């Protein structure tokens, strides 16, 4: 399997940083956050347009209504844009709106039927696709999801470690993360598909701002190609995952501390 992600990776070999809010909540929130990230040197802006909620009644995103906000980010700041797609219809709308990068969420990766349908919807395109690990530590399920996109002719493929759901009681030997990283599972994935860029999602692993910096450093020390970090202009008012989002200023400090050029 060959992966050609050269056009979105940093040309100087430094780690790729994808950043932006968990959810696209308003035009003002999107543009304010994007502007600050652009000034910090971030090239790829992420925002959730469709938000899968574990239980009904939560904010599930503005969907198609939010896509023009991401288009404006590209027009104003020259940033690439990225969002999660969870159905073939999402994929079609994202392509139509000019989204540059998509990722497949953990819930979707866990369902081969839906993953296959999204891969079919993207057939014939060269859009970069990052596949997050499934919530369970099932290596074959993760690899199989990537293979479905490859068999539909997509060659710009990558993976994201966002941690695995466990029910271990946190103690001194088990950091109280939202999701357990299980670095060794990702190591086995990388050994099977060494040509795929691997990003780390410290926001979803940690579940709290205090964990993002150490998890980021751990991932980069392990040779990960970059990070995808949730960043919001006002995290305290975020409609989803408020506890794990950084401000753009905090992200800029993190980038500087891990020697990512800004």
- pLDDT score, position 262: 47
**Residue 56 belongs to some domain of the structure:** yes
**Residue 10 belongs to some domain of the structure:** no
**Residue 101 belongs to some domain of the structure:** yes
**Residue 32 belongs to some domain of the structure:** yes
- pLDDT score, position 48: 98
Its pTM stands at 0.94
- pLDDT score, position 233: 98
**Residue 7 belongs to some domain of the structure:** no
- CATH number of the domain enclosing 160: 3.20.20.70
**Residue 52 belongs to some domain of the structure:** yes
Domain that holds residue 152: 16-257
Contact 219, 159 (CB under 8 A): no
Domain count, the chain: 1
Task: List average pLDDT for each run of 10 residues in the chain, which is 262 residues long.
Answer: 76 91 98 98 97 86 97 98 98 98 97 98 97 96 98 97 81 75 97 96 97 97 97 97 97 88 48
**Residue 249 belongs to some domain of the structure:** yes
**Residue 68 belongs to some domain of the structure:** yes
- pLDDT score, position 171: 58
């Amino acid at each position: 399997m060959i992966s050609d992600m050269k056009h979105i990776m940093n040309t100087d070999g430094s780690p790729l940083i994808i950043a932006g809010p968990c959810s696209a909540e308003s035009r003002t929130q999107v543009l304010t956050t994007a502007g600050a990230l652009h000034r910090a040197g971030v090239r790829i802006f992420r925002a959730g347009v469709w938000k899968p909620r574990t239980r009904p009644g939560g904010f599930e995103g503005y969907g198609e209504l939010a896509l023009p906000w991401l288009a404006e980010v590209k027009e104003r700041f020259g940033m690439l844009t990225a969002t999660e797609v969870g159905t073939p219809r999402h994929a079609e709308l994202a392509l139509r709106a000019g989204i540059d990068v998509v990722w497949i969420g953990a819930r979707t990766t866990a369902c081969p039927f839906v993953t296959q349908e999204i891969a079919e919807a993207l057939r014939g395109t060269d859009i970069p696709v990052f596949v997050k690990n499934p919530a369970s530590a099932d290596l074959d399920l993760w690899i199989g999801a990537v293979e479905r996109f490859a068999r539909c002719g997509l060659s710009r493929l990558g993976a994201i470690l966002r941690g695995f759901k466990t029910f271990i009681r946190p103690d001194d030997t088990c950091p109280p993360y939202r999701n357990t990283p299980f670095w060794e599972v990702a190591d086995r994935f990388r050994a099977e598909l060494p040509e795929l860029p691997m990003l780390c999602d410290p926001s979803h692993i940690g579940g709290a701002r205090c964990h993002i910096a150490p998890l980021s450093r751990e991932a980069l020390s392990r040779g990960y190609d970059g990070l995808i970090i949730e960043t919001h202009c006002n995290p305290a008012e975020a409609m989803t995952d408020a506890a794990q989002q950084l401000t753009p200023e905090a992200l800029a400090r993190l980038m500087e501390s891990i020697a990512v050029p800004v």
